[in-house]
Amino acid sequence: MDTTERPAAGPVRVSGLDGPAPLSGRIETRSIDYVPANERHGKVWHQGPFWFTGNFVLTTMVTGFIGPSLGLGLGWSVLAVVLGACFGTFFMAFHANQGPRMGLPQMIQSRAQFGLRGAILPFAAVVFVYVGFNVFNVILATEGLQTVLPGGKVFWYAALIGVAVVLAIIGHDLLHLVQRWLTYILIAVFGILTVGAAVNLDVHAPATGGGLDWTSFLIVFSAAAGYQISYAVYVSDYSRYLPANVPARKVIWWTYAGAAGSAAWLMSLGALIASALPEPSAIGAIRQVGNDIMPGFGTFAVLLSSVALIGIMAVNAYGAMLTTTSAVDAFRPVRPTIRVRVTGIGVIAVVVFVVALVLPDDYLANFNDFVLMMLYFLVPWTAVNLTDFYFVRRGHYSIAAIFDPKGPYGNWQWRGMVAYVAGFAAMVPFFKISFFTGPVADALGGADLSFLVGLLVSGVLYAWLGRGIDTAAEQAAEADADAALGAREA
């Protein structure tokens, strides 16, 4: 694939050449608009710690609880989450390469496959993911802080969401800085915690369960894979400021190493804890294991985990703002001002606050279903998006056309929509969640293979339908736009 930069001229909100610099004071002003070459910055290795910390949160560890809760043995639980995390991160990492090539946030790139308005289809699923994760995150962070500090749910929900909102409004560079420095602290603290858990916990307790059960193994594998794929919806948001000439392999590798490494570690720790403790909770388990190492250490680890949750809440709020702005822009052009930025993040924050308040106390009982539903909705999108980028259009896009309803992508792209719906429909018979079991999953004893079906059906179908796209004509128009933009930048 040709990975050279291919920007395009267009309205101010696209190229940004006549607009503000990327920061006004300390607040990022870029939103869904294109990041031009003269504003690109950052180091490619920063993707590693950013995604390490982004994934090193208590919700990741909870995913590791699933195997032992199903009676799966510790060794098989660890193998399932490690393989699932590595599999899911593969797709996420390849999305990261789109950021520096296109200079755009992740989801708005979907307009090339679905059309300006057709992209609402995956946008709706993505906003569900953002809100859902932040609801789980704010509840867990509140439980962590309440182990030491006074205050009820309403106070802490509002305070934590408020801090996340401030971080998200300031934007890209501050989020990278916070995540990068948290990485070093998290590695040190959880390194000690992991060693302590391995030494002190009795992994031969009855909760360890039996041997290998393929149904349970596949459920855990799918949950870990789905959890990682969920990050794909905003991975380019945090690589789009990189210079366009950074090697693709380095962007992919650093993203993969950070995200897969932290997921495999924390999910495995979760499996270890759940195999030794009869009814583990994320907060209680960390506090118990840490305090067994040294009095107060577990409490400190819980507080640090709560801080890390605030960071990923900010990352989610930032991505949700970009996605909702992209959706509104498809029907009514949006100038990406700071006011729009604040409004978008504020609306998402209110929704998260309300949902967190009304969610029942046993919310974690629904966590596995939530992760699997993310997998169901996002797998067809990631298959279509990656197939288009790497095999159909091969990285050649007109950035101006992504904002132009009269351009080659138009308002509706039937190929992407058909491939997405067909892939999702093909997955339904393979679904296995608490309130629904598809006929094929039932015949397989409850094994959930839907993600493989969705990837194959959506990806292969889109590749076949994509043969009808006149990529030569699109690339000719793109070359003209490149030339125009080059003249303006000079």
Average pLDDT over the chain, rounded to whole? 87
**What pLDDT, on the 0 to 100 scale, is given for residue 221?**
92
pLDDT tens readout for residues 16-42: 333 444 444 478 888 888 998 889 999
Model pTM score: 0.88
Give the least confident one: 21-30, 263-272, 441-450, 458-467: 21-30
355 close to 138: Cβ distance less than 8 angstroms: no
Residue that has been written with the tokens 């509840």 in this structure = 139
Q: From CA 169, how far away is CA 29, in angstroms rounded?
A: 9
52 close to 354: Cβ distance less than 8 angstroms: no
pLDDT tens readout for residues 302-317: 999 999 999 999 999 9
